[in-house]
Structure 1
Amino acid sequence: MNWSTAEIGALARAVSHAPSVHDTRPWLIEPRGDVVNLYERREVSLPRHDPTGRDRVISCGAALVNLELAVRALGWGVETTLFPQGGRAELVARVHAAGRAELTEEIATRYAAMFRRHSYRHPFRLRRLPVERLRSLSRAVGEDGTQARVIDHRTESADLAELLGYAARVLQDDAAYQRELTAWTAEPADRSSLPWAGLVRRNTRVPDEITFTARLAREGLLAVLTPDDTRRDHLHAGAAMQRIWLDAVAGGLVASVVTQPLHLPEVRAGLIERLGLEGYPQLLIRAGHPAESLSRPLPAPVSLEELR
């Protein structure tokens, strides 16, 4: 088979709705025959925010989930090969349409959620998510050794507040980082505050440690961990992040992701030591109920009938 023009458009639209570092969309898809190749665009470089390209590959992992969902929504089974042998260095995944397959309710639900997903960078409703709900979201990670570990709001908020507060102050004082942030993102009209600020700017309000601890204790937080720290692990982390996020959206929740502090080696090492993490923390996900109705309309999903 060969992808039709309409199918290629559906695949491209799905991938374009994946989250990415600074909304750079550092990927490229290449439909060919019955496969779709997903490439990392290494020319998209953020030397201060993402010096090793880790967030870029995490972004590609999120795009891969959307790509697989779109292929399944078109009525095909999926066989995915990560970093295929003999391929270009930038080739991170090859998705093969492996015969006709029935669309399951789980796939349809996640597919619809990808068009409603957005970064919610505001305080959540005061009612914190129950631990059982967070654990349910954590089970969406997959079976590749990646974990989503619930942050214990009772015993771990203080250590997390100290580390994130330290990271915020370092990033605020980094002039080169702030220039890069300004170049890639729009300056918000209001002065955002932690922990719900996604990006730490010079005017981001960093609360005192007691206040920060109290705020984090009201958050529903997950740490995505991988057994190693390779590009494959980063890709798995991005895929896990997106599955969790889509399941949260499908369940009426909102979420956002934090990666900035983890690019400081001392902060990452501190998280591993103080929280007793069994793996490499790649990102933090905060999830909860929106404090109020969303102020902007969300894009309408592509109906499955349109794709057939």
Structure 2
Amino acid sequence: MSWSATELGVLERAVNQSPSVSPTRPWTLAAHGTVAELAERRDGGLERDRLLSCGAALANLELAVRALGWAADVTLFPASGPADLVARVTAAGPEDAASAEVEQYSAIFRRRSYRAPFSLHPVPEPLLGSLAAAAHGTVVRPLRAPEEFAVLAELLGHAATVLRDDRGYQRELTAWTARFPEPAQDLPALPWTGLLRGGGRLPDPAALTGRLRREGLLVVTTDGDGPLDHLRAGVALERTWLTALTRGLVGSVLVRPLHVPEVRARLRERLHLPGRPQAILRFGYAVTATPARPAAAAAVGSQ
């Protein structure tokens, strides 16, 4: 048998809703029979960013196959096929999707990057831990200790200086830090404290550290740093993000700071990460939302 036109539409819509940390959508989707193939477009951006994006698209593709009622047989970088083929997903037979998979599939179409500051209601610690556990096969490490947030604040500030001409990153920082108070006058100034390009203000270290402590932050890490690691990191990134949405959170992903080699190396060293950092995930509650604390706690405890 072959995919029906309706099924093909489901697969295409899910893949097209994938987040991309590359300037474009660096993937193509082709289907024949009951096989869907995801290939990498190599015409722009860094290879690591392209493969992270392809991994996110693969996560959505697999969820769409499961939502259609099929078991999904996934092969990464198949030996048979063109060099740009990153994954082959085969419908291996009828199989009902698990309720968590259905929820994640539905969340695909609600996922948006939330760049603004979150509400002051923190992400409960058990919920943060459950998000870290949602990425099978890749280590997603939550930040918990106060000194970890200070380290991240320092390194994000350094990245802002190095990437001062990166318009995309500067816009992202401006949106994220829009509600920070003015820098305190009694704190020592650092080289990166001050105005961003376009008139935004980067907060002082103490203010940025305080903001980070109120966010749910996780670092996606991998043992290696090759194409397979990058692809798997993208799958983990998207699975974690979709799980967060099913728990009432919003979020975004930070990748550009890790383009700075010393930031990436120091992050791993100073946070004692189990592997190489590939992406930073930030989660919280939207400012317009008023989450019910007892209900959130009960949902976490029921897992």
What TM-score do you get using the length of structure 1 for normalisation? 0.84
Q: Distance in 1 between matches of 2:71 and 2:227?
A: 26
User: 1:152 — aligned with what?
Assistant: 144
AA in 1 matched with 2:212: L
Is the 1:192–1:205 contact (alpha carbons within 8 Å) kept by the matching residues of 2?
A: no
Alignment of 1:290-301 (within 5 A): 290-293=286-289
Q: Structure 1: how far apart are the matches of 2:178 and 2:225?
A: 26
Q: Which residue of 1 aligns with 2:3?
A: 3
CA contact (8 A) 1:258 1:283 kept: yes
String of CA shifts for 1:177-233, please: whole Å, max 9, x gaps. 44xx49xx9x79x95244999xx9723421111111111111110000001001100
Alignment of 1:226-245 (within 5 A): 226-245=222-241
- 1:123 match: 117
User: Residue deviations 1:150-189, cap 9 Å, x none?
Assistant: 11252211111111100011111x3xx44xx49xx9x79x
Point out where structure 1 has 5 or more consecutive residues left out of the alignment. Answer: 295-308
* Structure-2 residue corresponding to 1:29: 29
| 1:74 equivalent in alignment to 2:57 | no
Aligned-partner Cα distance in 2 for 1:196–1:19: 25
For 2:216 and 2:174, locate their aligned partners in 1 and report how far apart those are by CA, in whole Å. Answer: 23
* Structure 2: gaps (5+ residues): 181-194, 291-303
In 2 relative to 1, CA 89–205 (structure 1 residues): closer, same or farther, beyond 3 Å? farther
| Cα contact 2:17–2:109 (8 A) shared by 1 | yes
Q: Does 1:289 align with 2:285?
A: yes
Q: How far is 1:130 from its partner? A: 2.0
Q: Please show how residues 214-293 of structure 1 align to structure 2 within 5 Å.
A: 214-293=210-289
Aligned to 1:110: 104
Distance 1:147 1:196, change over 3 A: farther
Aligned residues: 275
Find the counterpart in structure 2 of residue 88 from structure 1: 82
Alignment match, 2:161: 169
- 1:35 positional shift: 0.6
- Percent pairwise identity: 49
Q: Deviations over 1:85-107 (max 9, x none)?
A: 03211100000000111122111
Per-residue CA shift, 1:15-63, capped at 9, x if unaligned?
Answer: 01110125621111110112100001111x13xxx3xx11110010010
**Is 2:197 the partner of 1:202?**
yes
- Call closer, same or farther: CA 1:191–1:165 in 2, change over 3 Å: closer
Give secondary structure in 1 for the equivalent of 2:144.
coil
CA distance in 2, matches of 1:109, 1:13: 16
Question: 2:297 is matched with which residue?
Answer: none
Question: 1:256 and 1:210 mapped to 2: Cα distance?
Answer: 22
Contact 1:193 1:206 in 2 (8 A): no
CA-atom RMSD in angstroms: 2.3
Letter of the aligned partner of 2:28 in structure 1? L
Q: For residue 303 of structure 1, what is the aligned residue in structure 2?
A: none
CA 1:68–1:201 in structure 2 vs 1: closer, same or farther (change >3 Å)?
farther
Quickly say closer, same or farther: Cα 1:81–1:196, change in 2 above 3 A: farther
Contact (CA 8 Å) 2:174, 2:202: kept in 1 or not? no
The answer on whether the counterparts of 1:11 and 1:70 sit within 8 Å (CA) in structure 2 is: yes
Match of 2:301 in 1: none
User: Residues 191, 240 of structure 1: CA spacing in aligned structure 2 closer, same or farther, 3 A cutoff?
Assistant: closer
Letter in 2 for 1:94: R
Q: Work out which structure has the larger RCO, using CA pairs closer than 8 Å and 6 or more positions apart in sequence.
A: 1
- CA 196–102 in structure 1, closer or farther in 2 if over 3 Å, else same: farther
CA shift in 2, pair 1:162/1:191, >3 Å? closer
Partner SS state of residue 192, structure 1: helix
Summarize the Cα distance change of 1:228–1:196 in structure 2 as closer, same or farther, 3 Å threshold.
farther
Task: Give the secondary-structure state (helix, strand or coil) at the position aligned to 1:92.
Answer: strand
Matched, 1:13 2:8: no
Q: Equivalents in 2 of 1:109, 1:195: separation in Å?
A: 32
Q: Residues of 2 paired with 1:201 and 1:87: CA distance?
A: 46
Between the aligned partners of 2:179 and 2:75, the Cα distance in structure 1 is: 36
